[in-house]
Structure 1
Amino acid sequence: MSNASEAPTPDDGLRLMESADTGPVLAADGTPLKRSLGRALRRQKLRALMLIAPLLLFVLLTFIAPIADMLFRSVENQIVSDTLPRTVVALKDWDSTSGELPSEQIYEAAYYDIFIAAERKLHTRLGSRLNYELTGASSLFRKSGRGLDDIGEVYQDQFEDLNKAWKDGETWAQVMGSDAWLSEANSWGKSSGKLAPALELRDGIAELLPKTAESYSSFANFVRVDDGDNPASEDPWSLVYAALWQDLTSGADVSAYSGPNADLLQEAASAAQDFESISFTDGFAEIDEDWVDTPIWQTIKTYSPKYTSGYFLNSVDMKKTPDGPALRDEDQRIYGLLFKRTMFMSLVITISCIMLGYPVAWILANLPARTANLLMILVLLPFWTSLLVRTSAWKVMLQQQGVINDVLVWLGLVGDGDRLVMINNQFGTIVAMTHILLPFMILPLYSVMQTIPQTYLRAAKSLGATNWTAFWRVYFPQSVPGIGAGSILVFILAIGYYITPEIVGGTTGTFISNRIAYHISSSLNWGLAAALGAILLAVVLILYWAYDKIVGIDNVKLG
């Protein structure tokens, strides 16, 4: 009896296991199970990420990156400050609302900036940018690029008449460049396949002749990088002569200079005071009278920041002025009209697609599968034809001498002299785009209607409902998700169309997308095109958000 009472029981075993220090549970390979499971989960997530990585990269490169670039271009404005750095700094202290012309120092800064920009062929790009804001700026900068040489040549001719050595590029190189640079430059050849040595200024020359050193450095860098030549053997720009005259007449003590051609420089310093001179203001006035008027300077100052709201203001029929944003003249307000027209016509097209597509989808959903599949081919048939061909076909059919008008005249419904105008207007755009976008409405409707049991209608009728009541109160509510999906699809596609409105819309049937395409391909005003596109994107997102709040995006189904 005593042995039986002392035998271990299952409870004793459990208590023994609970009291024992067993440690962490181990996996088959001896590592803690928790760590092993975590490693396996991370490996599984990494494998899943690698599977979708190509798709993510594709979306990033083809969707996210273009949108980001568009948003950046809509505010980017670095060309003004990059092309006219001295002028932008000088204009900071000028009151653009005073009505007074800028000071001589500002004209001087503009001379140096525009001259260098003209050598680098950048002045025309700057003129095109400012021409978006001020008509005539493009031609003004083109003319200035050709005319600024005249200012520098006034001094160049006098220096060369004083001493023929000033004609020689080597003279300038010896005065401005260090001995080490001269040695490297003289031993350089194009056959080396490398750029000429970068200019290294002679010690003290930048302090003695600051404007000349800066101008010659710009010249040397241009010759070296842009032309691929050796600046030590090239004749400098006329700009450099003007800079030297300014330095010599500003009190530069050239007697302290003891480098090469010191006597030549001292001779020039003595004679420079008697040189014929021309003010930069007068020089610009001789090029074009617009330079001695305030609008061009106001425009440069207004658009000198690296980032601007000007494109967005232009896209809502406003403009950036020295006094702040202001509405454009009434005859220049076109974008508000285009946005309203785009929204209205897209809504009409969407409603037209619903009215035409709903019966077609209902018929397809209620026919036998074999017949429905055959008829579905007719719905999809337009996708097998080029969009351009379909749009051109409508142009042929809708014109006054087209098929539809000919049939109406033949039937006697309209007179030959009273043919209907159905092209190059809003009607033509609505008809053509409704035909093109109709399949995008039919397919979601058909997919949803296929899932609605026909027994619901029979049950409603058996309870005394009329055909209309059964449809309206039983069938139609269940098809609303298809209407929502089709409407979103058609509306978003419609507001972005530009080929069809361009061909059949004329002047009254075009969309805002046509204006965006114009700025991208014709006027090259990519900033304004980006701003218009950004606003259009914002409108779509707002409408999408409103639809989600009112209807609920979860209720949108494609089948």
Structure 2
Amino acid sequence: MATAQAVPSDRVMRAADGTPLKVALARAERSQKLRAILLVLPLFLFIVLTFVAPIGKMLWNAVHDPDVAENMPRTVQSLGGWDGKDLPSEEVFAAFVADMQEAQKNKQAALVGKRLNYELSGIRSKVIATARKVGALTEGPYKDAVIGIDKIWGETETWATIKRSSSNFTPFYILSMLDLRQGADGSVERVPADRAIYQDILLRTLGISLIVTLLTLILGYPVAYMLATSPQKTASILMIFVLLPFWTSLLVRTTAWMILMQDGGVFTQLLNLTGITFVLNMLGAIDGEPQLFKTRFATIVAMTHIQLPFTLLPIYSVMKTISPTYMRAAKSLGGTPFYSFVRVYMPQTLPGVAAGCLLTFILCLGYYITPALVGGPTDQMISGFIERAINSENNWGKASALGVILLIATLILYYVYNKLVGIDRMKLG
């Protein structure tokens, strides 16, 4: 590096080439920052393209609803002054006929029908049929003619649905995934009880995730303690068994549980040999052999097996940093082994417990393969309904709204975790 020298005339420190020292240092810092940015740029672009952009698209699809507004502009404009009490005026029906004729010409009637069908079941086929028949209408009056094509156009609820769907942005999808809907006057209300299913699905997803998280904590905490306090040779062998499940794919492990849990499988035979099946039959809990496959029990057991290392490893990494002198000091001051463990050792492991439980709970929220293979119809979680909305229903708005709900649940969990534990208080080794 060039040496610095003082110039007596202006008393400014300069480098050997005459450049002021401050300018030379600033130039060197800019060069280092640019080099660092170039090194980070590939990872940043990867995160933006594979993580930030898909989440942004999901948020957009959850509220973006242009199908009716783009394909029925005249009807949407005419319905702007409709009060929703009686049937719309002749002007609205005339605009409706013009829009349907245009939609039929552009082959967009099915798109309009599909969107309206999300709120009014069975209307899709009626929209398509109406779009074909209104081509014969060349002059008014249109109101009676349209109602004559199908009586559904004589119901105020149909036009209220069209008006609610007339904006490019709508809360419909998110409200629907919470078993809510907008009334004719725009107020939010609950859907009828026979159509309310998504709150139960959300509670089911949260409940299964919570149970699996607690089971992995109960099973993983003692193992993590044993790993952290055992001699290095023993701990290394035990760690291999902990990491062994990572050597096989999730699908293979789930398939193995299908074989173990099937009727007449290993678990059923084990319950028969130990007499548990006989006791359960005597108590009236079951009738015949226990049915384990396609049950909530099978789903929870399989998910617990898969998630156990994700809870155990953060706890172990924190336990490994805790000095054994704390326990020895507590015992020397008169504390019993149990009291010392609970009051001295356990509080120091809370950051690892919180991190492991948070990781497991968030991963469980997005489970799809395991509940689909080993769970029954009443054990499917939100991810299964997202898959069905995309692949079977082609309803990206519904899928995106469910994804937004999962994202909000994850952010709330992280916020609570950060408030209780704090990311800066984690002591990962």
- Fold match by TM threshold 0.5: yes
Q: Secondary structure at the match of 2:189?
A: strand
Q: Secondary structure at the match of 2:119?
A: coil
Equivalent residue for 2:15? 27
Q: Secondary structure at the match of 1:423?
A: coil
Task: Answer with 501-510 or 306-315: which moved more.
Answer: 501-510
CA distance in 1, matches of 2:333, 2:183: 71
Alpha-carbon distance, 1:124 to partner: 0.9
CA distance in 2, matches of 1:453, 1:546: 28
Asked if the contact 2:312–2:356 (Cα under 8 Å) also holds between the matched residues in 1, the reply is yes
Equivalent residue for 1:452? 322
Asked if the contact 2:213–2:360 (Cα under 8 Å) also holds between the matched residues in 1, the reply is yes
Q: Which amino acid aligns with 2:178?
A: V
- State yes or no: 1:491 paired with 2:361: yes
Alpha-carbon distance, 1:293 to partner: 2.3
Structure 2 residue runs without a partner (length 5+): 1-5, 282-286
CA distance in 1, matches of 2:191, 2:304: 35
Q: Secondary structure at the match of 1:494?
A: helix
CA distance in 2, matches of 1:370, 1:509: 42
Equivalent residue for 1:147? 133
Check 1:36–1:398 CA distance in 2 against 1; reply closer, same or farther (3 A cut). same
Equivalent residue for 2:179? 317
Of 427, 430, 435, the residue aligned with 2:305 is: 435
Equivalent residue for 2:158? 296
- State yes or no: 1:49 paired with 2:47: no
Asked if the contact 1:427–1:509 (Cα under 8 Å) also holds between the matched residues in 2, the reply is no
CA distance in 1, matches of 2:171, 2:249: 39
Of 263, 270, 295, the residue aligned with 1:407 is: 270
- State yes or no: 1:503 paired with 2:366: no
Alpha-carbon distance, 1:484 to partner: 1.5
Percent identity between the aligned chains? Answer: 47
CA distance in 2, matches of 1:68, 1:557: 33
Equivalent residue for 1:136? 122
CA distance in 1, matches of 2:190, 2:333: 63
Alpha-carbon distance, 1:82 to partner: 0.5
- State yes or no: 1:116 paired with 2:99: no
Equivalent residue for 2:3? none
Task: Answer with 487-496 or 421-430: which moved more.
Answer: 421-430
Equivalent residue for 2:256? 393
Q: Which amino acid aligns with 1:150?
A: A
Equivalent residue for 1:356? 219
CA distance in 2, matches of 1:464, 1:34: 62
1:156-305 maps to which residues of 2 (within 5 A)? 242=138, 279-305=141-167
Alpha-carbon distance, 1:365 to partner: 2.0
Q: Secondary structure at the match of 2:166?
A: coil
Asked if the contact 1:501–1:511 (Cα under 8 Å) also holds between the matched residues in 2, the reply is yes
Asked if the contact 1:78–1:306 (Cα under 8 Å) also holds between the matched residues in 2, the reply is yes
Bigger-Rg structure (1/2): 1
Alpha-carbon distance, 1:308 to partner: 0.9
Asked if the contact 1:444–1:557 (Cα under 8 Å) also holds between the matched residues in 2, the reply is no
Task: Answer with 336-345 or 482-491: which moved more.
Answer: 336-345
Q: Secondary structure at the match of 1:508?
A: helix
Alpha-carbon distance, 1:322 to partner: 1.6
Q: Which amino acid aligns with 2:353?
A: I
- State yes or no: 1:556 paired with 2:426: yes
Equivalent residue for 2:56? 68
Of 77, 80, 86, the residue aligned with 2:65 is: 77
Alpha-carbon distance, 1:511 to partner: 2.0
Of 377, 385, 389, the residue aligned with 1:519 is: 389
1:371-386 maps to which residues of 2 (within 5 A)? 371-386=234-249
Q: Secondary structure at the match of 1:546?
A: helix
Deviations 1:143-194 (A, max 9, x none): 123323333xxxxxxxxxxxxxxxxxxxxxxxxxxxxxxxxxxxxxxxxxxx
Asked if the contact 2:294–2:375 (Cα under 8 Å) also holds between the matched residues in 1, the reply is yes
- State yes or no: 1:92 paired with 2:106: no
CA distance in 1, matches of 2:209, 2:29: 48
Equivalent residue for 2:190? 327
CA distance in 1, matches of 2:354, 2:82: 57
Alpha-carbon distance, 1:77 to partner: 1.1
Q: Secondary structure at the match of 1:356?
A: helix
Of 200, 207, 216, the residue aligned with 1:344 is: 207
Aligned residues: 416
Deviations 1:83-121 (A, max 9, x none): 11111111112222x1x2222222222222222222222
CA distance in 2, matches of 1:426, 1:70: 30
CA distance in 2, matches of 1:285, 1:359: 71
Asked if the contact 1:485–1:558 (Cα under 8 Å) also holds between the matched residues in 2, the reply is no
CA distance in 2, matches of 1:346, 1:413: 27
Q: Secondary structure at the match of 1:453?
A: coil
Alpha-carbon distance, 1:22 to partner: 1.9
Alpha-carbon distance, 1:317 to partner: 1.0
CA distance in 2, matches of 1:71, 1:22: 60
Alpha-carbon distance, 1:278 to partner: 5.9
Asked if the contact 1:379–1:439 (Cα under 8 Å) also holds between the matched residues in 2, the reply is yes
Q: Which amino acid aligns with 2:380?
A: T
CA distance in 1, matches of 2:270, 2:149: 64
CA distance in 2, matches of 1:144, 1:377: 67
Q: Which amino acid aligns with 2:314?
A: P
RMSD (Å), alpha carbons: 2.2
Structure 1 residue runs without a partner (length 5+): 1-16, 152-241, 243-276
Asked if the contact 1:424–1:508 (Cα under 8 Å) also holds between the matched residues in 2, the reply is no
Q: Which amino acid aligns with 1:135?
A: S
TM-score by length of 1: 0.70
